[in-house]
Structure 1
């Protein structure tokens, strides 16, 4: 089990890192602003729960294999970047087609947005490497059960990410609701959101 000091130190660091602007934050913010607060929260929750897959990889040691294999890392990075590019293209294709709030949101089920967030995070190779390097720093080997400690730390990270991303999706959705009364601005925001996804995808593919 984790000690209170161990858990608090990890949680404080995790919150600071999660709150720092990064790709996940931008994706949740963009989704919430372009599709509404419920969509932003669903997508954010998916992103947060995607961390559980990285926790599992860290526990069983697969992350170490990915980090040590240039071929595996390149393939995973390419897959993640291609997925973000696809999301960006779809946002451009359907710009302005879905309004924030009302029946229009039925065209994009919350479950589908949740899955998109889950996949976007789960296939991000940088998050794999982050968990591989971050979680072990808070493991106390003398306490034993290293795998169990890693698992608990990963769950704790996921929980705080779910709260922070949920709040981000909620408040960004308020902006989207305001823009819903301005169709031209809503269409522009859809395209801006698509540009963010495309930019992140290109960066993931090209950055070494």
Structure 2
């Protein structure tokens, strides 16, 4: 039995799209990769995040996320690992700012981060955020019947993944189109400072949140 169209649309809009669009670590990481590596790097980062979303929803279908949410120790370990990763990315940006060496780039110099690195950053940023698991664990059952099968849950996983891909690709394209503006050395240095600060603050926020 498949889920209804109304349920699928409600889940897509209310849960996935609004959740993805809310400012957070994923948003900052995609934005930074789009600015430093262009549209392709931003898209690669977004695909990594979408893969993370798929893994979380499948984990819920298999009951793994429920164990994570129920275990305070495991939840805290994953949360602190995610927070440390965000701080690590932020500190790397700060180190770049401190070292300086920013200069105005020509079009042929606009390379930036590699696609595998961008993908990995997006994937780890999402997988190391247990809040994602709790978010879907709390809302997913409301869109499934009490006798829902694993296949129906996986249908919602596909919807969540596809919606995430569309949103992150859109964001990467928009931010990447402004990249030429950021070819100026002083602008890139300022943006690295801002993005680094946001990542560190988000890491501290994740680490200090009670639940």
State TM-score, norm by structure 2: 0.88
CA distance in 2, matches of 1:79, 1:187: 27
1:102 correspondence with 2:105: no
CA distance in 2, matches of 1:89, 1:164: 27
- Residue segments in structure 2 that go unaligned for 5+ positions in a row: none
Q: Which residue of 1 aligns with 2:124?
A: 119
What is the CA distance between 1:108 and its match in structure 2? 2.5
**Deviations, residues 144-165 of structure 1 (Å, cap 9, x unaligned):** 42x2111110111111011111
* Contact kept in structure 2, 1:84 and 1:201, CA below 8 Å: yes
Q: Which residue of 2 aligns with 1:152?
A: 155
CA distance in 2, matches of 1:71, 1:100: 50
What is the CA distance between 1:103 and its match in structure 2? 4.5
* Contact kept in structure 2, 1:57 and 1:63, CA below 8 Å: yes
RMSD: 2.0
What is the CA distance between 1:33 and its match in structure 2? 2.8
Q: Which residue of 2 aligns with 1:87?
A: 89
**Deviations, residues 4-48 of structure 1 (Å, cap 9, x unaligned):** 222122122122332233332233223323432222222122112
Select the residue among 64, 71, 79 that pairs with 2:66: 64
What is the CA distance between 1:186 and its match in structure 2? 0.9
CA distance in 1, matches of 2:206, 2:194: 18
State TM-score, norm by structure 1: 0.89
- Residue segments in structure 1 that go unaligned for 5+ positions in a row: none
Report 1:1-208 matches (<5 A).
1-13=2-14, 14-95=16-97, 102-103=108-109, 105=111, 108-142=113-147, 144-145=148-149, 147-180=150-183, 182-208=184-210
Q: 1:7 to 1:202 in 2, by over 3 A?
A: same
CA distance in 2, matches of 1:97, 1:52: 39
* Contact kept in structure 1, 2:29 and 2:121, CA below 8 Å: no
Q: 1:131 to 1:202 in 2, by over 3 A?
A: same
